[in-house]
Amino acid sequence: MPTLITVSDATAGPYGITVGPDGALWFTLVHAGDLGRLAPDGRVDRFPVGAGPSLVTTGRDGALWLTLNQGNAVGRVTIDGEVTTFPVPTPGAGPFGITAGPDGALWFTELNADRIGRITVAGAVTEFPLPTTGAYPSTITAGPDGALWFVEIAAGQVGRITVAGAVTEFPLPDRACRPHAIAPATDRLWLTEWGTGRLAAVTPDGAVEEYELPGPAGSEPHGLVVGPGGTVYAALETGAIARLGAEDR
């Protein structure tokens, strides 16, 4: 039976979460405008960061980095709670997904601007436009090939961007599949297809394989993670976790 730990009231909106370099859990409170820290001993601290904190990750500088979707900025928070924010140049860009890149910078998506952003640990921001208009790029991760990979919800595509900024887009078989989350494995990327109830695997050269999920229609998958041995786990709206092992494919 899972254990529940209260970190806020429901109105604060716990959303993104990551393990910090200090061994604590760091999480965003999207409605409250805070970044929270849950220590191993159960203590909860909250740090005001700005409007709409969404996803959070750990940078190579040992700080927490997060997107401020409504504040149109990227935030940096040290493990001591010191907050710095860096505005995104494009107005109303809607930063959302964020990940640490192989080049030491942080890479993030801009939902409303069809761009991928890159921010150095010193706060210098570069933006790279996508070929597709209205793509709605969402989550992003570092791939096994040294590039960054992201999903385009509205376009039904997976995107790849090199650390030099070269973008390639790969259409998925059903452009209405609404890809949501993306996670790396040793030789491919895995993603959820919320609109079709499938998981998909994409190789670095863009080859796509899709896998039907068990359960009733409407088993929309959201987040996913790749566990030991390459087993993929996806969270479904039906209240279940789907497991796809090597023996299932």
Question: What is the rounded distance in angstroms from the CA atom of residue 94 to the CA atom of residue 138?
Answer: 10
Count CB atoms within 10 A of the CB of residue 120: 15
Are 37 and 45 in contact by the 8 Å Cβ rule? The answer is yes
Active site residue 222: yes
Element holding 74 (H helix, E strand): strand 73-77
SS3 state of residue 215: coil
State the DSSP code for 228: G
Helix extents (H) in 51-116: none
Phi, psi of 203 (to 5 degrees): -80, 160
Residue of 169, 195, 167 whose CA lies nearest to 180: 195
Residue of 153, 154, 237, 238 whose CA lies nearest to 191: 153
Question: What is the rounded distance in angstroms from the CA atom of residue 202 to the CA atom of residue 164?
Answer: 21
Are 197 and 213 in contact by the 8 Å Cβ rule? The answer is yes
State the DSSP code for 248: G
C-alpha count within 13 angstroms, C-beta hemisphere, residue 47: 20
Catalytic residue of the set 19, 187, 222, 241 = 222
Catalytic residues: 222
